[in-house]
Amino acid sequence: MELNGVYLDELRDFFVKNGEKAFRANQLFTFFHKNGRWDVDNSNLSKKALEIIKVQKISKTEILKVLESKVDETKKFLFELDDANIVEGVLMKYNYGYSQCISTQVGCRMGCKFCASTKAGLLRNLSPGEMLGQVYAAENYYKIKVKNFILMGSGEPMDNFENVIKFLKILHDERGHNTSYRNITISTCGVVSEIYKLSELDMPINLAISLHETNDLDRSAIMPINNRYNLDDLSKALDYYISKTNNRITFEYTLIKGKNDSEKNVRELKNRFSHLLCHINLIPLNPIDEYDEKRPSREDINKFKKLLEEASFNVTIRRELGPDIDGSCGQLRAKLLRGDLNGCCRSN
Ligand code: SAH
């Protein structure tokens, strides 16, 4: 059992079954999730309780590297897991508080053409304790409390559904980190079956959909998930999610020059989604070596935004955070693995 990735009830059962008092579970849960620690030898657990937990797993998520932007207050992390796998994370400061981007898998098997995280496929899922560990490691490092979480690091959260939900329920627990579901966003390429599952959980989490194309032919060409669940399937699932949660959907739309930035795209979006309670977030493509496309010019991006607004969509262009410390998901880790991480900015 991963002790720092289970519910308080499970910890209680574990201690009682092993002849210890149930309140030891409360002590340990507080130590893990309120204090954000895993060095249990320094906790106030009894000798007997420490003896009992000794043979169980406690995941440690350590900071391997921190990159701090000189342009803004964005920080990027490389976290090292117990098996020496590496995932990345980002911490951003907004006027309403800190926001952290969390990785949910080592690698990814979704195969989106423009994404660096998926190039080597999926290595493995992260456990709940490893996702919580990213939060606590960043908070301890900067002595802060993070308010908002976006599951938009490496991995497809809906492809690691059970662990992700457990992570979020523990993060939400008022005896631990006490994060509101309203401050959590899951980003998905559109795993429709899991969107339905999430709809039933009574967890009013924000949903962000990586859309990137406006018709099935073009979307399938860059996002293999569209062959499994096409835009009709996705659209129905989103209607259902909104009917259950009343939450607005965010569409992430990575702008690729000459591919998805035309008037036709605006028309197709309008035909399909104008009825939907939604918001469109435009992301200029971050070029990666393996995908030979460019982002549109600033002028063309603004033009596309204006067309969407004229079609009555609510649109923002994603502010580029930490542009000097590498772009989109997977690029930092890939650089580290290539031995190519020096000199881009201050690193610890
Ligand atoms: N698997 C999830 C979350 C991780 S990807 C998802 O698909 O939503 C996080 C976001 O970054 C997604 O919208 C993804 O499409 C986008 N992204 C990935 N690579 C990118 C790149 N090179 N340029 C711009 N956005 C990118």
Each residue's pLDDT tens digit, 299-333:
999 999 999 999 999 999 987 777 777 655 566 66
**Element containing residue 307 per DSSP (H, E):** helix 298-310
Show the domain range for 8.
3-53
The reply to whether 259 and 329 lie within a common domain is yes
Give the model's pLDDT for residue 326: 65
The reply to whether 301 and 258 lie within a common domain is yes
The reply to whether 142 and 34 lie within a common domain is no
Q: One-letter amino acid identity for 62? A: E
Give the model's pLDDT for residue 330: 61
Please give the number of the atom of ligand 1 that sits closest to the Cα of 210.
13
How far apart, in whole angstroms, are the C-alpha atoms of residue 331 and residue 113?
Answer: 14
The reply to whether 150 and 173 lie within a common domain is yes
Residue 71 token pair: 């342009």
- Among 15, 36, 53, identify where a domain stops: 53
Nearest to 115 by CA among 153, 146, 145: 153
The reply to whether 168 and 32 lie within a common domain is no
How far apart, in whole angstroms, are the C-alpha atoms of residue 63 and residue 80?
Answer: 6
Contact between 89 and 153 under an 8 Å Cβ cutoff? The reply is yes
Backbone φ and ψ for 333, nearest 5 degrees, come out as -65, -45
Give the model's pLDDT for residue 13: 98
The reply to whether 9 and 103 lie within a common domain is no
How far apart, in whole angstroms, are the C-alpha atoms of residue 220 and residue 196?
Answer: 21
Q: How many domains does the chain have?
A: 2
Q: What stretches in the chain show pLDDT beneath 70?
A: 326-348
The reply to whether 294 and 335 lie within a common domain is yes
Three-state SS letters, 48-117: HHHHHHCCCECCCCEEEEEEECCCCCCEEEEEECCCCCEEEEEEEEECCEEEEECCCEEECCCCCCCCHH
Angle at which helices 192-199 and 161-172 cross, to 10°: 30
pLDDT tens profile 70-115? 888 899 999 999 999 999 999 999 888 999 999 999 999 999 999 9
Q: Whose CA is nearest to atom 20 of ligand 1?
A: 115
- Among 53, 75, 90, identify where a domain stops: 53
Instruction: Please report the beta strands in 228-270, taking only residues with DSSP state E, as ranges in sequence order.
Output: 249-255
Please list every protein residue whose CB sits less than 6 Å from any atom of ligand 1. 110, 112, 114-115, 152, 156, 187-189, 210, 252, 254, 283, 285-286, 288, 328-329
The reply to whether 10 and 141 lie within a common domain is no
> 114 CA to middle of ligand 1, Å?
8
Residue 147 token pair: 């308010």
> 51 CA to middle of ligand 1, Å?
44
The reply to whether 104 and 249 lie within a common domain is yes
Nearest to 72 by CA among 282, 341, 323, 317: 323
The reply to whether 113 and 163 lie within a common domain is yes
Q: Catalytic: 88? A: yes
Q: Catalytic: 329? A: yes
Model-level pTM?
A: 0.94
Q: Of these residues, 101, 108, 112, 329, which one is catalytic?
A: 329
The reply to whether 27 and 75 lie within a common domain is no
CATH of the domain at 152: 3.20.20.70
Backbone φ and ψ for 280, nearest 5 degrees, come out as -110, 125
Please give the number of the atom of ligand 1 that sits closest to the Cα of 155.
1
The reply to whether 71 and 48 lie within a common domain is no
